[in-house]
Structure 1
């Protein structure tokens, strides 16, 4: 994509990338190339990158679609929304962040597929939905429920075991299988030592925030504050 931009002297727009992919792209692009990163709202995780031949404002071709639903029929989650979109035959890279907040759904999508979604995504689980373009500013704060845990160390397998209440061997199996990410990067070393303020994702179990070590116990164990993203 960078070579195309330089050769043809025109803007190149990427699909939506995950945070770890964006980090790789920033390393490749460096400081000598003009580019813009945007996910449709402040704080977005999944974003598109516009690679630019010269400094300019770039249309990122991102549309926010909004729908409301009645929670008396079902409680919708990010997983429900993503499943419904993928069942339409859409590729994940055409979709940005998916937000569920106060009986409302916000999805950030490639503008080329907005009409397809509006026409075809009319039901999620038992909830009828009708999506429309939404142009107001989105302010979204991720809901995280925190609690304290006691662990013997900050090894990745120890933290995974404590976070999802499985044996340490099972946690090691998760890590070896590539089911665990730390700060959006897949790690396969059980002995990896996690730092404060790390985000740990465990496939099938959700995403967690290891905030900090609070104190040591008399038995030299660690009391840590962790939260689960809702």
Structure 2
């Protein structure tokens, strides 16, 4: 794939990651072998899908249906490739206090593991689940034996997981679908402040950083605002008598 003819304008703020994806694709096409990526964040995964399109065969996997963090396999030919992904589970007790996602992630990072080496972390009242590559399964089992004040013992989990991501929907009223107007509404700030946030690359629409306050959002737009959270603009429901728009917005919890 000729990178010199590619425009990175659409991926401003993610240029290095985009180059990395094209390098993976080049390796797959030139060497005629399967290239497997690390685990990507939702933003990175959306960019990867956009780049691949129908130009190259690929599969993705996060260990279970609905996983947020997934990795990709670029395929030089049709194959039934199976990802070496495993799910680990450790039972925990609420006696020492409820563990958080941050607690578990911090414990993993303290082992010297980069974030891209593991997938989703699901924390429930009585259990913690980790999605990892099979190559580091034994390392995690042998070394991740304590999280905060709790002693834990991870072992492979053969059951199925269900995403615990929840979205709470509510109606908002805006004057237009311009990005600055939407951001001001979602973050509960002035329009001027929203424009500053957009210009400073703190806002992503469908996982891509945008700096144009005049950008018009469509239905089914995923919007993330650094420091304020993630939102999903599902649709415009109706217009009010004063010609304002009632929109259905989901807030990730």
Q: TM-score range by the shorter chain?
A: 0.7 to 0.9
8 Å CA contact 1:48, 1:60 repeated in 2: no
Structure 2-normalised TM-score?
0.77
Equivalent residue number for residue 174 of structure 2: 151
Q: Which has the higher helix share?
A: 2
**C-alpha distance 220-48 of structure 1, shift in aligned 2 (>3 A):** same
Structure 1-normalised TM-score?
0.84
1:166 to 186, 189, 198: 189
Distance in 1 (CA, whole Å) between partners of 2:129 and 2:188 is 32
Offset at residue 191 of structure 1 (A) = 1.7
Equivalenced residues, count: 230
Distance in 1 (CA, whole Å) between partners of 2:169 and 2:86 is 33
What's the Cα RMSD here? Answer: 2.6
8 Å CA contact 2:94, 2:125 repeated in 1: no
Q: Deviations over 1:96-123 (max 9, x none)?
A: 2233345433222222222333333344
**C-alpha distance 64-26 of structure 1, shift in aligned 2 (>3 A):** same
Equivalent residue number for residue 108 of structure 1: 131
**C-alpha distance 79-176 of structure 1, shift in aligned 2 (>3 A):** farther
**C-alpha distance 229-26 of structure 1, shift in aligned 2 (>3 A):** closer
2:105 to 76, 79, 82: 82
Equivalent residue number for residue 153 of structure 2: 130
Instruction: Say which is worse superposed, 154-163 or 93-102, in terms of deviation.
Output: 93-102
Long gaps (5+) in structure 1:
none
Distance in 1 (CA, whole Å) between partners of 2:61 and 2:34 is 15
2:71 to 40, 48, 52: 48
